[in-house]
Amino acid sequence: MKRNLIAVSLVLLFGLALTLQPLKAQVYGDFDTIRIVYNTPYVELGSDKTVIPVSAFGLPPNWIQDLDDGYAYPTGIDIGFPFEYNGEVYNKVWICVNGFMTFTPPPFYPSKEPKGLFIQNVSYPNNVIAPFWGDHRLRQDAERFNGYMPSEISFKSDVVNGIFTVQWKNLNVNDQTVKSSVANFQARIYKSVDPYSSQGNIEFAYGQIGGNTYDPGTLVVTKNASVGIKGEFSDFLNGLEFQKSDNSYDILVARTSQRVTNEWTPSGGNEKRIKFNASIRYNVEQWWGDGDADMSKGFGNKHYNLPQNRFVTVNDARVVMRSIATKVPLDSVRKRNAFHADVNHNGRYWWVNPNTLQDITWRDKLEYQNLPPLVNSLKSIFYKANEYDAAMMMLYMSARIPDLPWLLDTIPLYGKITVNDIKASGLKFGASQKISNNTFTFPVYLNGYANGPIGIAFELNSNVTDVKTTSNDVITEYNNGSVVLAGIGEYDAQTPIAYVTVNSATNDLLANNVKFNDRKAEDVTMLLAGVEDPQNLSISNTPNPFTVSTVISAQITNPGVYTVNIYDATGCKVKTLTSGELNAGIATFVWDGSNDANQTVQSGIYIYRLMGENVSFSGKVIFSK
């Protein structure tokens, strides 16, 4: 039973990411898309560029000249304006011969391996912008007598227009034995147009390849370089995963793809550039938990300068839920997505050390209240949001609470719990239905009564192919085996809130990591329907019906590991009688009518099933108290 429903529109937006270390964001949260900029030809820097002398390139700590893997200048090069990247603001870069630059001092080791863009290791640089990372070499002017094209690495800081450009010209790329393998490319970073943030866009541009006037060869080795940007902790965006011809893109793929180049130009043409589009930030301290998970009220965005009831939408709830389903949490840095999505004000945490996270349990009005003694800066505080925050957003949109954040412990409810109602604390699954081979659907219920917001998340041991909610007051996200539900309304234990379809090769379906309204709930196990029993096997019990106990006997052909479970009529597991090695022959098991908590079950029909060694067979028994 559900009453007082609201209709909601469904808008999908990808989730953004969470840092797993202190004081840093991740590049997922800094850039919302990777696009191609069309009709923007490659333009070589003019005479006002600054050419970096070959003597400037070396490796720390001694900075001996290195034209194979070196970086320009021990102190780096000034950008000319502040540029926010990966949660911090930088003013200089270190430019590497190998086709990338980094905002942080380089490691002591050569960075030849282009897949270093995807690797977290002390041997590889962090905070990298890489238009064409490979094993390259800077050729000196005197080397033209040996048939090599002299190379040049230069930069230009256009402070007036807010553009910093690095240019690799006639660089001997990827195979130093091939004299004709030269290429021209640029990385450009743009000063932010957002008055509240220093985060700007990044572009990669690609020019001519080949054309070595000192060698008659035409071969250019452009394959197996990496293109993209990298953060601090194994976070990266692959620049080759830009939008397709239909203008669609999947930035989630860019977060995981380790694809490298196989053609020139990586952008698809000299008149095209790869652009990393910066997410606009509107960072206002007093708005912790205001519900703007998608940052749509940011400067220049569609809800800029609008009241809370305009910028909090269903999309904000979906952003939170998508992040949970995909296991790519929201950007955790203060003033970013999770900061605004933590509407219940219980999502603060800090890192005791790089491997130990500690939650701050106080629900305070201001983020600097009740901080642990060891936390001496708000930069050390991070934020997270969950499915219950999404439900609270929906509660606000239905006008049942006046504003967000909601710091009170009470929520205005419709109706009241009767003496026969049990307050919901988790989930239960109903009997499954077989749709096709290995495909099943089953209903999801609350295990009691609820009136107000519901936030649910669980993980199945099978692949989820579809989730359908039973009304518009519940929305859902799912990915692989993760399911997230959020809604508002009045619910009982007899009416499903959703139907889940799975593809499963196993008979037992397990839901673990179950969360209900901000609390850990019990795992749920059920028996999937439609599994055929093998021939020449038998199972039975006596007495049937029974009141005290019954003996279950099974004929086992092959020795091995078996499990015997009891299920109720809806398919939910009641008790495990055995799980382990069994010999061939007759095996017997006794069930006394209790569940796994040693509580006596209700009278009714139950199913016993033995599974193992690629077989499964079952029977029915009636328990009468």
Predicted confidence band at 59 (pLDDT cuts at 50, 70, 90)? very high
Tell me the pLDDT tens digit for each residue of 179-221.
999 999 999 999 998 776 788 999 999 999 999 999 999 999 9
The helix/strand/coil state of 393 is: helix
Q: What pLDDT is attached to residue 284? A: 52
In the DSSP assignment, the letter for residue 142 is G
In the DSSP assignment, the letter for residue 378 is G
**Which is higher by pLDDT, 257 or 4?**
257
| Domains, the chain, with CATH or none | 40-278 (no CATH), 287-397 (no CATH), 539-623 (2.60.40.4070)
Tell me the pLDDT tens digit for each residue of 499-520.
999 998 877 888 999 999 999 9
Predicted confidence band at 444 (pLDDT cuts at 50, 70, 90)? very high
**Which is higher by pLDDT, 440 or 529?**
440
Predicted confidence band at 337 (pLDDT cuts at 50, 70, 90)? confident
Predicted confidence band at 286 (pLDDT cuts at 50, 70, 90)? low
Q: What pLDDT is attached to residue 18? A: 29
Q: Is the pLDDT of residue 76 over 80?
A: yes
Tell me the pLDDT tens digit for each residue of 482-493.
999 999 999 988
Predicted confidence band at 249 (pLDDT cuts at 50, 70, 90)? low
Q: What pLDDT is attached to residue 244? A: 59
What number is the average pLDDT over the span 54-76? 96
Q: What pLDDT is attached to residue 412? A: 62
Q: Is the pLDDT of residue 111 over 50?
A: yes
Pairing between β-strand 57-59 and β-strand 182-190 as defined by DSSP bridges: unpaired
Q: Is the pLDDT of residue 282 over 60?
A: no
Contacts of 341 (CB under 8 A, 6+ apart): 289, 291, 292, 293, 316, 319, 320, 330, 347, 383, 385, 389
**Which is higher by pLDDT, 557 or 240?**
240
What number is the average pLDDT over the span 36-49? 95
What number is the average pLDDT over the span 532-547? 71
**DSSP string computed for 95-125:** EETTTEEESSPPPSS----GGGGG---TTS-
Q: Give percent of the chain above pLDDT 90.
A: 53
Q: Is the pLDDT of residue 605 over 60?
A: yes
